[in-house]
Amino acid sequence: MWTKRLMWIADVGFILYWTTTAFHLLPAEWLYAAHDNPLMVAWNWSFFPLDMLASITGLWALLRPYQSDTLKTMSLTLTMVAGGMAIGFWAFRGEFDLGWWLPNLYLLLFPIPALWQLITKKQST
């Protein structure tokens, strides 16, 4: 049950973040640190396809229980990759802004126990 809640938060969060970013619903400086650097803006947008694929597969898994395990595995893996890539980037740059680190640590870490549960479930059947 907790996996579903955490997935809803992440998947709806991706959609809200990208909608807010695309339509400039909040000042850019509230959404990402280097909003005035074209290279950083491009880097940020490079996550859009990954985040949307994670969100679509996650929401599909949550709404279609009979296809759930495969879609959950895909979504959780993509979510973990997105969070890990962002954390890696900011770590390599030596920048530690909690506004970026906390949401991306969430994306990186919450899938681990859920994926473990899916893997061990498959091995026991």
Q: What is the pTM of this model?
A: 0.90
Count Cβ atoms within 10 A of the Cβ of residue 61 and give its class: 0-12 exposed, 13-18 middle, 19 or more buried: buried
Q: What are the percentages of helix, strand and coil residues in the chain, rounded to 5?
A: 85, 0, 15
Task: Give, for all 125 residues of the chain, the pLDDT tens digit.
Answer: 788 999 999 999 999 999 998 998 877 776 666 677 888 889 989 999 999 999 999 999 999 877 689 999 999 999 999 999 999 999 999 989 898 899 999 999 999 999 999 888 867 66
Residue type, 27: P
